[in-house]
A and B are shown apart, each in its own frame.
Chain A
Amino acid sequence: MKLHFSRGLSIPSGAKPVAMVSEMSRPVQAAILASDFPSIRWQAQIPEGQVVARGEALVRDRKCPDIVLTSPISGRVSEIAIGARRRLQWVTIEPEGDERLDFGPVDGASPEGLRALMLRAGLWPALRTRPFDRIPDPAAEASAVFVTAVDTNPNAADPLLILAGREDEFSRGVRAMELLTQGPVYVCQPAGARLFEPSGRIVAVDVSGPHPAGLPGSHIARLHPATIEKPVWHINYQDVIALGGLLATGEMETFRVIAASGPGMRNPRYLRVPLGVDLHALLRNELTPGQKIILSGSALSGWESRFLCRHHLQASVLEAPRPKRSHWFLAALARAAKPAAFIPTQALEQALGPDLPVVPLLRSLSVGNIEAAEKLGGLGLSEEDMALATYVTGAEIDFGKKLRAVLNELEEGA
C-alpha cells in the first residue's frame, strides 16, 4: 500500500547527523520520568540506594499494578524525586555493574502470554493509544496497530540504517503485534523498504512526502481514523525491535539509537544510549562553546529535558537565546500583553498531516473551544502533530499545549 503526503514543509535544520552509530564514551546515569506519562500516578517499588539489574521494575502504576517501568541500566537507585502532591517525578539510576534480568522462557505465541511478557518487561508503555496518546489499558484491545518505521522529523535518524541487520527481530516484533488486535497491523516504512514479509493482517505501507508525513498521527488519520470507541495503538520501530529481541532471547533491549544534532553539537551523529539517558552528562563534551539548550526530541516538537523522554529517538542542542535588553516600560507592556492572534497564511495549510480544516481547528484550540475542536478532528491528534503549526505561526501560541488542554477535558468526559 502506498501513502503519499503532498502537503508538508521542510524546516531549515542545519547539519544532518552523520549516519554512523557510535557508542557512549563512558556510562552515564539514566532515569525514568513520570512526566512522560502524565495521566499515571507511579509508586516506587525499590528504595533509594538499592542496586538494581537492567530490566528490574522500578515503579508501578497505582491504578493498574500490572504496568511497570523497568530500569534501563544496571546500577544503583540514586534518587527518587517526589514532587507536588506527593507525586513521583523521576527515579535516577547511577550505572554500576552489568546485571541483567532474564525474562525467559517466554510465551509469545498467545495474546495473554504476549501481554504478560510486555507488561513484565516494561515494554507495554512503548504502546500508546490514539485518541489521547496514553498507555493502553492492558485488558483493552486495539482496533488497529500502527508500527512507525519512518521518521520525517528534522534531523531524525534514518530508520532503515538502524533496522539494517535487525530485520529478523523487527519482523518477529511485527508478527507479535498481530496478537494485540483483531484488526490490521500497519507497518509504515520508507517507500521501497523490504523489512519483513507482509502476511495476513500485516500491511506494509510505503510512506512518502515531507514532514509531517512520518508522524503516526498523519498515518492514523489517513488509514484508520481513531475514535474513543475504536482506539488505535501505535509503537515506534525501535521498540518493535526490542520486542522481537525479547521474544527471541528473553532479554529486554533497553538501548536505543538516537540522533543527536543541532547547531550546538560539534559532531552531530547517532548514539546508542539507554532509555532515559542523562542528556546533559551524555553531551557535555560534545558541545560547541557557549550557552546551550538541550532538548529531548526534535528541534520542532521536542522540549527541554535533562533526561531522554521515553518515546523520543532524538536529542537536539540549540543555542540558548540571548536575553534581550529592553526598556523596563516596554518589557512590562510586553509581559502584560495577551498572546497575539495568529494570522492564517497559506503556510498553515501545509502544517498538518491529516486533511483537516486547519485554520478553524487552530482558532478553536486557541480559544479552548472543546466542542468545535472535537468536531474538526482534534481528537486524533497529539502534541507532535501541532508542532509544525506552532512553528509556522512563530510560536506566539503553543498549539500543542492548547491541544493537550482540550484533550484533557475530552478525556475526563469520555
Chain B
Amino acid sequence: MIAGVWQRDTIGWVILAATLPVAGAAFIELGPAALWRGGLVLAVILVWQIVFLFTRAQPLTPIAFVTALSVALLAPGLQDPWQLALAVSFGVVIGEQVFGGWGRNVISAGVATLAFIYFGFPETLHAGTGPLVAAAVLPGGLMLIVTGIVSWQVIVSAVLGLSAVSLALGEDPLAFAVQGSLVFGLIYLVGDPVASAATRGGRWVYGALAGALTALFGWVDIGIDMPQAIVFAALLASLFAPLIDAGAVAVQTASWRRRNG
C-alpha cells in the first residue's frame, strides 16, 4: 500500500520550519536573553519527552521547539530558571504528555505553560513584541495555511471575530496586525490543528470565539499589546473546542435524520 508523507513527525518538522523566521525575529527584538530562556525551556521539554518515551513509549516530537519558542516569546518577563522549569514541566506533562503526546492533547502544551506562568507568577510583567515579529510570522503562517496544516477557516474567522469585537468596543479593528505576540499566538496557539475544533462548521465558531475573546481581553482588560490576551483566548477557545465539535456533529446528524426519515 502506498502512503503519503504527512505523518505526525513530518507535520511537526514543517511547523518547526515555519517558526524559524519568528525565532530569528524574537532574538533580534528580545536580545540574547530570549535565547537562553528558549534553550532552557527546550531542554526541560526534551527531558520530559524522554521520560515519557521510556515509561509510556511515546515517541519524541519536533513540536517541542515550537512550544519552547512560544514560551520564550510570550512570557519574556520570566527570568528565574526554576520558575521557567516548573511552568514548562506543568505545561508539557499535564497539557500534552499525560494524554499520550502531541496529537492526543486537548490544549497545546505552550498554552498550558503560559497560562501557568501568568497565573502562578502574576507579579512578573510581560511585554508584547512588535511589528518585526508580526512580519516574521507571516511567511511561515502562510505556508502552514497553504499546506493545510493550519485551517484557513480558523484564521479567517478569528481575524473577523477580533475585528468585529474591536469595532464594537470602539477601538481600531486592525490594531492587532502590528502586535507580534498576538499574530504569533493567532497562528500557532489558536490555529494549532490538534487543539482547535475539527469539524467544518465548528472551525468557524471556534475561530470567531477565539478572536472575539482576544479582542475582549485585550481592549477591556490587559491591553491588546500584551501577550496574555491571545493566550487566555486560545486557552478558553480550545477548552470549548470539543463542545463546539459536539454541537456541529449534532447539527449534522439532525439534518441526516430529517433527510432520511
Contact = CB atoms under 8 A, between A and B. Distances in A.
Interface of A: 11, 225, 295, 299-303, 318, 333-334, 336-338, 340-347, 349, 357, 359-360, 363, 375-377, 387, 390-396
Given A343-B103, A360-B245, A394 B5 contact: yes
A225 B260 contact: yes
A392 B8 CA distance: 11
Contact of B1 (A302, A336, A338, A376): A302
Given A357-B249, A359-B198, A396 B8 contact: yes
A394 B6 contact: yes
A337 B200 contact: no
Question: Which one of B1, B7, B260 has the highest number of Cβ atoms from chain A below 10 Å of its Cβ?
Answer: B1
Given A225-B256, A341-B101, A394-B10, A346 B2 contact: no
22 contacts: A295-B1, A300-B1, A318-B2, A333-B59, A337-B57, A337-B58, A340-B101, A340-B103, A342-B103, A343-B11, A343-B194, A345-B6, A345-B193, A346-B149, A347-B4, A347-B148, A377-B256, A391-B3, A392-B4, A392-B6, A393-B6, A396-B8
B3 A343 contact: no
Nearest to A14: B2
A304 B4 CA distance: 18
A302 B5 CA distance: 19
Given A343-B11, A343-B194, A357 B252 contact: yes
Q: How large is the interface on B (under 10, 10 to 19, 20 to 34, 35 or more residues)?
A: 35 or more
A353 B252 CA distance: 16
A377 B253 CA distance: 9
Given A225-B256, A337-B59, A360-B245, A390 B100 contact: no
B254 to A, nearest CB: 12
Contacts of B7: 340, 393-396
Nearest to A359: B198
A396 B102 CA distance: 14
Given A357-B248, A360-B198, A360-B199, A344 B4 contact: no
Contact of A299 (B2, B59, B104): B2
Contacts of B194: 341, 343-344
A303 B2 CA distance: 10
B47 interface: no
Given A337-B57, A376-B249, A343 B8 contact: yes
A334 B60 CA distance: 10
Contact of A394 (B3, B100, B149): B3
Contacts of A357: 198-200, 245, 248-249, 252
Nearest to B11: A343
Nearest to A338: B57
Interface in B207-261: 245, 248-249, 252-253, 256, 260
A398 to B, nearest CB: 8
B11 A345 contact: yes
B177 interface: no
A394 B53 CA distance: 21
B29 interface: no
